[in-house]
């Protein structure tokens, strides 16, 4: 009888565990909560989200085997790599729904992370002083733009990803010369965020800046920032050759996930057509699942050719990218 009672308790405990999933999220809850609500509606699995802009990776390290985290959602590719490099992730199974839904270029070759949304690293230009441009990233080092470029830190993950892609395509030596040229063309010391650069263009401090595509939508949706967005043209670089650089948000299964089965079901759902369409509408980003259209606002910006290079190839050059930023003293 005692053995039977213990067995029943164990079964009940496993059912309880399977009915929940814990998320550590670098993405703000309001951006993902509608998707999680729909996931619960369809599966009965409830979700709990702990959000923080910083410190979640350190928290996972401190918690170790006692961590309640099942899934970690990141807002950029850099965090996906860091989680894997620090041994805080575990493999998901080969094949199945995730392989069907997410193209290979957006999945880790060792199956430790996957992308969920993509965004373009656009070049913004002053409508008044430059207009819409047919431009390449390489053109940012052209002397005709001397004193006309604003950017955030070269060490920010968004810029490091772009620099890593430049190394992958053009080699380290050419990328170093490009960085020196861009630095020589800066209107001010690298500072602020992507939207801050568009604000600077609006204020006449510079004429060009780098910025992720979804920030354009965020500015258009914010009455205080609409004037900034209306002052710039959104350009998709390198359309005549390799295509525009893509960055991603994504997810991993935590190494010590107590609800791994539920975590896998969540990832399957997040990669589904329905969730991908919701992501696109809520976040003004591009879906990674082929065949899912962007939101009406994002679609209004026009189509573009994306760089098809695999994220794994870009990841291989990120340390070299950081080394070059330091070597040319880009932020100084």
- The pLDDT of residue 7 is 38
- The pLDDT of residue 323 is 98
- The pLDDT of residue 18 is 59
Q: Is 280 exposed, middle or buried (0-12, 13-18, 19+ CB in 10 A)?
A: buried
Domains recognised in the chain with CATH numbers? 2-118+247-295 (3.40.190.10), 119-245+311-327 (3.40.190.10)
Longest pairwise C-alpha distance within the chain: 85
Q: Taking the model in full, what pTM does it have?
A: 0.89
Which has the closest alpha carbon to 110: 129, 91, 136?
91
Which has the closest alpha carbon to 251: 79, 118, 100, 109?
79
Run means of pLDDT, 10 residues per run, the chain, 332 residues: 38 51 91 94 96 94 97 94 96 92 95 96 98 98 98 97 98 98 98 98 98 96 97 98 96 97 97 95 94 95 95 94 98 94
Is 112:252 a contact under the CB 8 Å cutoff?
yes
């Amino acid at each position: 009888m005692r053995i039977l009672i213990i067995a029943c308790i164990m079964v009940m405990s496993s059912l309880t565990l399977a009915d929940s999933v814990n998320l550590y999220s670098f993405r703000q809850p309001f951006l993902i909560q509608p998707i999680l609500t729909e996931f619960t509606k369809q599966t009965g699995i409830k979700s709990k989200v702990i959000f923080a802009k910083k410190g979640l990776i350190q928290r996972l390290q401190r918690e170790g085997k006692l961590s309640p985290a099942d899934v970690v959602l990141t807002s950029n590719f850099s965090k996906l790599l860091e989680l894997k490099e620090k041994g805080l992730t575990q493999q998901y199974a080969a094949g199945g729904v995730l392989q069907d839904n997410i193209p290979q270029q957006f999945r880790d070759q060792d199956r430790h992370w996957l992308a969920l949304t993509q965004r373009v690293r656009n070049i913004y230009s002053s409508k008044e002083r430059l207009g819409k441009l047919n431009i390449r990233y390489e053109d940012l080092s052209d002397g005709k733009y001397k004193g006309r470029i604003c950017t955030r830190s070269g060490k920010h993950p968004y810029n490091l990803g772009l620099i890593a892609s430049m190394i992958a395509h053009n080699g380290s030596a050419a990328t170093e010369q490009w960085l020196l040229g861009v630095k020589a063309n800066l209107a001010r010391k690298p500072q602020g965020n992507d939207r801050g650069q568009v604000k600077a263009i609006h204020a006449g401090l510079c004429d060009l800046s780098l910025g992720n595509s979804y920030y354009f939508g965020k500015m258009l949706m914010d009455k205080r920032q609409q004037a900034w967005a209306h002052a710039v043209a959104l350009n998709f670089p390198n359309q005549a050759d390799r295509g525009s650089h893509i960055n991603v948000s994504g997810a991993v299964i935590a190494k010590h996930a107590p609800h791994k089965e539920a975590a896998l079901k969540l990832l399957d759902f997040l990669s589904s057509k329905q969730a991908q369409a919701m992501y696109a509408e809520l976040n003004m980003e591009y879906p990674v699942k082929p065949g899912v259209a962007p939101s009406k606002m994002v679609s209004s910006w026009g189509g573009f050719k994306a760089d098809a290079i695999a994220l794994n190839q870009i990841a291989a050059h990120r340390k070299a990218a950081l080394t070059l930023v330091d070597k040319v003293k880009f932020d100084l």
